[in-house]
Amino acid sequence: MNSSTPARPFYLQLWFLVLVAMALGVALGQFYPAAGARMQPLGDAFIKAIGVLIAPIIFCTVVHGIASMANMAKVGRVALKALVYFEALTTIALVIGLLAVNLFAPGAGMNVDLSDLDTSSVAPYLEQTHRRTTAQFLLNIIPDTFIGAFSEGNVLQVLYVSVLCGFALSYLGQAGKPIVDLIEAASRMFFRIVAMVMWAAPIGAFGAIAFTVGKFGSGSLFSLGKLIVTFYITCLIFIFCVIWPIAHWCGFSLFKFIRYIREELLIVIATTSSETVLPRMIAKLEAMGCEESVVGLVIPTGYSFNLDGTCLYLATAAVFLAQATNTPLSLEQQFGLLAVLLLASKGAAGVAGAAFIVLAATLAAVGTIPVESVALILGVHRLLSQAMTPTNLIGNGVATLVIARWERALDDDRLRAALAGGAPPP
């Protein structure tokens, strides 16, 4: 797209269409709840349409980025810096979550009797809970077969295969150039497909938000309103007290960055799945001046290791359930919960509902809080996800810019142009 091409009117831009679709979805779910609940397939179809493209786009981006680098030591350096940053930020998120839920105590005084709680609705989630050791988590990064990494849709497995292929093509040099060129062409093809599919985002957003309001609606909102308000405030505290200073230190405005990714934020708020915008985030961060190799490594890894919003959710929800069921948690037990959550939060990729399964698995692993108590928040999980997923998205976007700056792999001119609105959309 040429920068001289006239911009579309605002009412034809994707962010505005998604916003209108969300408003219509809220109205349908509020006034015709049964009809709203039946809109779920529209949201699910959009998530699946994007999900098909995630693995090949990660593969093409990472392989081409690594194969084009002359310095292979840089790949390991970027990965190490990213992991250190991720671990620091997720630990801070867990601590903030624990402090906020203890301060606001949204579950205090609820006095929930588990014998009166219907746990049949969470039985499918409880069946998926199992305690994973560190060794099992690391072994799961290696796929059973090369194709299996793509068929299962595991982001870390695709990243593992992509890094190996990128290194191999780099060592082949000129002999591997035809394959690198082919992968670059394939990457352009997949991003063009994403551009086409994304115009269905308003339909997907309409269906997802209509389902949320129609099925869970105002009843759930009022019954557990204190938890919802506490969690939303906690996410805002993390964004503006942790992410904002980091962005300022890195030399860019967080508010301008949020404006730059407003379309992606609206989509993840509606669909409660951050994977729906992963391809667009890759393209937009490259358009901001981040080197392809850095974006290709940091963004996919961040989707498993840098889920700040998920960490806030896990810490808040776990202690809330303890408060609601009058389960005493000492300071030592909360530190133990923090340690378990540091591991449990990894690999909870941005698929809608994954965080709820991780929460149930965490409670089962700790053994202090009754795991059946998760039934209490099942009805509002999706409402909580509408704060959790955009927090994840903002955290991963800022992380990529920070690592790129750290590596001197960020073009300041393109960054300023993008944040000022002068750069063409990807």
Catalogue all structural domains in the chain, each as residue range(s) with its CATH number.
35-419 (1.10.3860.10)
Strand partners of residue 290: 410
Is 260:361 a contact under the CB 8 Å cutoff? no
Phi, psi of 168 (to 5 degrees): -60, -45
Asked if the model's pLDDT at residue 241 lies above 90, the reply is yes
Condensed to tens digits (0 to 9), the pLDDT of residues 329-338 reads 888 888 888 8
In Å, what is the CA distance from 102 to each residue of 108, 351, 419?
Answer: 10, 28, 37
Phi, psi of 290 (to 5 degrees): -75, 140
Condensed to tens digits (0 to 9), the pLDDT of residues 163-205 reads 899 889 988 888 888 999 999 999 889 988 988 888 888 999 8
The 10 Å Cβ neighbour count of residue 236 is 12
Token duo for residue 334: 């909360």
Contacts of 242 (CB under 8 A, 6+ apart): 89, 92, 93, 96
Q: What is the C-alpha to C-alpha distance for residues 167 and 183, in angstroms, rounded to an integer?
A: 14
Lowest mean pLDDT across 138-147, 200-209, 227-236: 138-147
Residue 3: per-residue pLDDT: 43
Residue 2: per-residue pLDDT: 43
pLDDT tier, 239 (very low <50, low <70, confident <90, very high otherwise)? very high
Residue 5: per-residue pLDDT: 47
Half-sphere exposure of 377 (CA within 13 A, CB side): 34
pTM: 0.83
Q: What is the C-alpha to C-alpha distance for residues 382 and 238, in angstroms, rounded to an integer?
A: 20
Asked if the model's pLDDT at residue 353 lies above 50, the reply is yes
Return the exposure string of 33-71: e unless at least 16 CB atoms fall within 10 Å of the residue's CB, then b. Answer: beebbbbbebbbebbebbeebbbbbbbbbbbbbbbebee
Is 238:89 a contact under the CB 8 Å cutoff? no
